[in-house]
């Protein structure tokens, strides 16, 4: 079991055959933010959507929680979902995109490719102290208003945006603000140059043009050898929710290009 996490991580599965795709969600959402991708890609893949500690239906964690702990917990969820020894395509958004490079370094030979979104090169994560303060003040209730910050200005005014905010907040009774704070503290860990430069698997960044991380995504692209990048015009941080048709198309094109789409 991963150190400093109080039990196995919760996951959902969809798809009975094909290669494995593991999805790791952003703050303040949970694995259900991948519902479009899980439903779509289960046509060809075994999809695993994972709740990281303190979110959805996953357990709490200790103060010593690290990025490596969360990465190990995600791999354990993949092993439980599809069996040990399977390779996986890793897909993340925001904190999920911060976790999956650690997953890569733990099992480089088992990582077929990485798809990053809602991310950029942001050393020290200067946004984290503000998030920590909000969770300390408001507790898990902060998740509802925080959800809208993951969306573009245009999308956050729609009924669908409110639907998603309510969906995540309805699970607050199983979420844990203190563990979420520990996750933000873990994200502030210093990353070595090799953390990005040492990534050898096919990698792409999918970035929304209205995401605050958008400009920083180009700096991250430069740090990862051979990394590709596609922009979703008008989309925000959680671009997989706002524009699933384009997000999925970019995923399919990337996986096909690298011989990782079983239907081609």
- Total structural domains within the chain: 1
Evaluate whether 2 touches 73 at the Cβ level (below 8 Å): yes
Separation of alpha carbons 213 and 23, rounded Å: 20
Residue 148: give its domain's CATH number: 3.40.50.1820
Q: pLDDT grade, residue 264 (50/70/90)?
A: confident
pLDDT above 90 as % of the chain: 96
Average model confidence (pLDDT) across the chain: 97
| pLDDT for residue 1 is more than 80 | no
Evaluate whether 254 touches 113 at the Cβ level (below 8 Å): yes
Asked if the structure places residue 175 within a domain, the reply is yes
Cis peptide before 28 (omega within 30 of 0): yes
What's the average model confidence in pLDDT over 112-123? 97
The number of angstroms, rounded, from the C-alpha of 262 to the middle of its chain's C-alpha atoms is 23
Residue-wise burial string across 33-48, b where 16 or more C-beta atoms lie within 10 A, e elsewhere:
bbbebbebbbebbbbb
Separation of alpha carbons 40 and 37, rounded Å: 5
What's the average model confidence in pLDDT over 95-102? 98
What's the average model confidence in pLDDT over 71-94? 97
Per residue in 2-21, pLDDT tens? 889 999 999 999 999 999 99
Asked if the structure places residue 138 within a domain, the reply is yes
Asked if the structure places residue 164 within a domain, the reply is yes
Per residue in 25-65, pLDDT tens? 999 999 999 999 999 999 999 999 999 999 999 999 999 99
Asked if the structure places residue 4 within a domain, the reply is no
Asked if the structure places residue 159 within a domain, the reply is yes
Domain that holds residue 173: 11-257
Per residue in 124-174, pLDDT tens? 899 999 999 999 999 999 999 999 999 999 999 999 999 999 999 999 999
Q: pLDDT grade, residue 263 (50/70/90)?
A: confident
Asked if the structure places residue 1 within a domain, the reply is no
* Secondary structure of residue 238 in the 3-state scheme: coil
Give the closest residue to 29 by CA, choosing from 240, 243, 220.
240
Q: What is the pLDDT of residue 243?
A: 98
Asked if the structure places residue 3 within a domain, the reply is no
Q: What is the pLDDT of residue 96?
A: 98
């Amino acid at each position: 079991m991963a150190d400093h996490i109080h039990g196995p991580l919760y996951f959902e599965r969809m798809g009975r055959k094909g290669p494995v795709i593991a999805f790791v969600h952003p703050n303040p959402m949970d694995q259900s933010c991948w519902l479009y991708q899980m439903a779509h890609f289960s046509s060809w893949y075994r999809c695993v959507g994972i709740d990281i500690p303190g979110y959805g239906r996953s357990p709490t964690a200790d103060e010593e929680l690290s990025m490596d702990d969360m990465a190990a917990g995600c791999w354990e969820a993949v092993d439980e979902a599809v069996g040990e020894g399977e390779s996986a395509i890793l897909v993340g958004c925001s904190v999920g995109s911060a976790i999956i490079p650690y997953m890569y370094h733990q099992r480089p030979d088992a990582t077929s490719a990485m798809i990053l979104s809602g991310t950029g090169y942001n050393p020290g994560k200067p946004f984290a102290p503000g998030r920590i303060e909000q969770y300390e003040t408001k507790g898990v209730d902060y998740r509802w208003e925080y959800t809208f910050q993951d969306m573009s200005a245009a999308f956050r005014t729609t009924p669908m945006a409110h639907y998603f905010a309510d969906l995540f907040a309805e699970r607050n009774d199983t979420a844990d603000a203190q563990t979420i704070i520990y996750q933000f503290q873990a994200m502030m860990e210093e990353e070595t140059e090799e953390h990005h430069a040492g990534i050898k698997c096919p990698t792409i960044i999918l970035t929304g043009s209205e995401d605050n991380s958008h400009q920083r995504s180009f700096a991250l692209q430069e740090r990862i050898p051979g990394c590709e990048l596609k922009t979703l015009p008008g989309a925000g941080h959680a671009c997989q929710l706002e524009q699933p048709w384009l997000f999925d198309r970019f995923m399919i094109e990337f996986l096909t290009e690298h011989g990782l789409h079983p239907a081609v």
